[in-house]
């Protein structure tokens, strides 16, 4: 999550995230340090492809998708869209701006 301005990266880039008890992001690893999430502005869930074979993965087509998405304000003044993969684990930063 480095650099000024707006960054968008297709499916996003992997990021390390610390979460609160409710599963919302509390901090994001950025530029060699933990950056606090000042506020969660929005939260939604995307579930699609549930009818597809879950054994099908990268290179073999798209399997099901279940992501919790969070639009957050970071302590340094930037905003970010973060996605938690609810099936495979891990987080991605989909976009940053500000």
**Alpha helices, H only, 1-98:** none
Range of the domain at 24: 7-50+61-97
Residue 53 phi/psi, 5-degree rounding, is -65, 120
Please enumerate in sequence order all residues whose Cβ is within 8 A of that of 47, keeping only pairs 6 or more positions apart, or say none. Answer: 64, 65, 66, 67
pLDDT for 56-95, tens place per residue? 555 555 678 899 999 999 999 999 999 999 988 999 999 9
pTM of the model: 0.80
Report the number of distinct structural domains present in the chain: 1
- Is residue 56 a part of any domain in this protein? no
DSSP letter at 78?
A: -
**Nearest CA-CA partner of 19 in 31, 11, 27:** 27
pLDDT for 24-41, tens place per residue? 999 999 989 999 999 999
């Amino acid at each position: 999550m480095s650099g000024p301005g707006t960054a968008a990266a297709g499916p996003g880039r992997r990021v390390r995230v610390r979460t609160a008890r409710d599963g919302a992001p509390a901090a994001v690893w950025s530029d060699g340090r933990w950056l606090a999430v000042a506020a969660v502005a929005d939260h939604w869930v995307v579930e699609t492809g549930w009818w597809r074979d879950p054994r099908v993965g990268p290179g073999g087509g798209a399997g099901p998708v279940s992501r919790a998405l969070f639009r957050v304000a970071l302590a340094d003044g930037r905003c970010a869209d973060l996605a938690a993969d609810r099936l495979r684990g891990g987080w991605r930063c989909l976009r940053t701006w500000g």
